[in-house]
Chains A and B, each alone.
Chain A
Amino acid sequence: MGGSSRRLQKWARQSFLLLPVVFMTVFLLLPLGFMVVVSFWKRAMLRMVPDFVLTNYADFLSGPRMAVLGRSFAVAIEATAIGLLIAYPIAYYLARTAKPSRTRIVLLLFTVPFLINYIIRAFAWTFLLGRTGPINTALMNLGLTDGPVDWLLYSDFAVLVGMISSYMPFMIFPLWISIAGIDRRLAEASWMLGAAPWTTFWRVILPLSMPGVFAAIIFSFVGCFGESAVPTILGGVGYQLIGNEITSTMDVLNYPLAAAISSVVTAAMLVLLAIWYVAFDLRAFLGKILAWRMA
Chain B
Amino acid sequence: MKAGLRIGCNPGWLAWCGIGLVLALLYVPLLPPMLFSVSPDTAVGGWTLRWYSEMWKNPLLAGSVITSIEAALIVAVVTPVLALGAAMAIRELKAPRLILLLMLLPLFVPGVSMGLANAFFFRIIGVSPSLLTIAIVQIMWALPFAVLVVLTAMSTFDPIYIEAAHMSGAGRWRAFRDIELPLIRPGLSGAATFSLILSFNETIRTALVQGPLNTVQTYIWSTYKQIGLSPTLYALMTLLILLTLLLVGMIVVRGHILDRRR
List the interface of chain A (C-beta within 8 A of B).
1, 9, 13, 16-21, 23-25, 27-32, 34-35, 38, 86, 89-90, 92-94, 96-98, 106, 108-113, 115-117, 119-125, 127-128, 165, 168, 184, 187-188, 191, 197-198, 200-201, 205, 218-219, 222-223, 225-229, 232-233, 243, 246-247, 250, 255, 258-259, 262, 265-266, 269, 272-273, 277, 282, 286, 288-294
Contacts and interface: CB of A to CB of B under 8 A. Distances in A.
Contacts of B18: 89-90
Given A108-B252, A115-B197, A168 B22 contact: yes
A83 to B, nearest CB: 10
B240 A28 contact: no
14 contacts: A20-B143, A23-B139, A28-B140, A29-B102, A90-B18, A92-B7, A110-B23, A117-B240, A124-B28, A125-B29, A165-B26, A168-B22, A232-B225, A289-B151
A119 B218 CA distance: 10
Contacts of A243: 110, 112
A200 B7 contact: yes
Given A109-B23, A269-B110, A290-B90, 14 more contacts: A17-B89, A18-B93, A20-B147, A24-B105, A31-B117, A35-B120, A116-B240, A120-B29, A120-B33, A123-B33, A165-B29, A188-B1, A197-B8, A288-B155
B7 A119 contact: no
A74 B41 CA distance: 39
Given A20-B85, A115-B248, A246 B116 contact: yes
Contacts of B26: 110, 113, 165, 168
Contacts of A288: 155
B116 A123 contact: no
Given A115-B244, A116-B241, A225-B110, A124 B82 contact: no
Contact of A246 (B25, B86, B113): B113
B253 interface: no
Given A109-B23, A115-B248, A119-B221, A17 B85 contact: yes
Contact of B121 (A34, A109, A218, A293): A34
Contacts of B167: none
Interface stretch (B46-54, B59-67, B198-206): B198-206
A265 B140 contact: no
What 7 pairs across the A-B complex have the smallest Cβ distances? A226-B110, A124-B29, A31-B121, A20-B86, A31-B117, A117-B201, A17-B89
Contacts of A292: 155, 159
A128 B121 contact: no
Contact of A191 (B5, B244, B245): B5
B228 to A, nearest CB: 10
B112 A289 contact: no
Contacts of A232: 225
A84 to B, nearest CB: 13
Q: Which of B7, B12, B101, B237 has the most CB of A within 10 A?
A: B7
Interface residues of B, number: 88
Contacts of B173: 9, 13
Contact of A120 (B92, B111, B143, B241): B241
A93 B217 contact: no
B93 A17 contact: yes
B118 interface: yes
A141 to B, nearest CB: 16
Given A116-B240, A187-B5, A20 B83 contact: yes
Nearest to A86: B22
Contacts of B120: 31, 34-35, 38, 255, 259
A1 B106 contact: no
A115 B198 contact: yes
B109 A124 contact: no
Interface string B176-203: 0000000000000000000001100111
Interface string B87-128: 011111100110111110111111111101110110010000
A223 B92 CA distance: 32
A7 B249 CA distance: 44
A250 B88 CA distance: 40
Q: Which of B12, B26, B112, B248 has the most CB of A within 10 A?
A: B112
Nearest to A225: B110
Interface string B222-262: 00110001000000010011001100100010000000000
Contact of B30 (A96, A116, A226, A255): A116
A124 B32 contact: yes
A36 to B, nearest CB: 9
Given A20-B143, A258-B116, A119 B82 contact: no
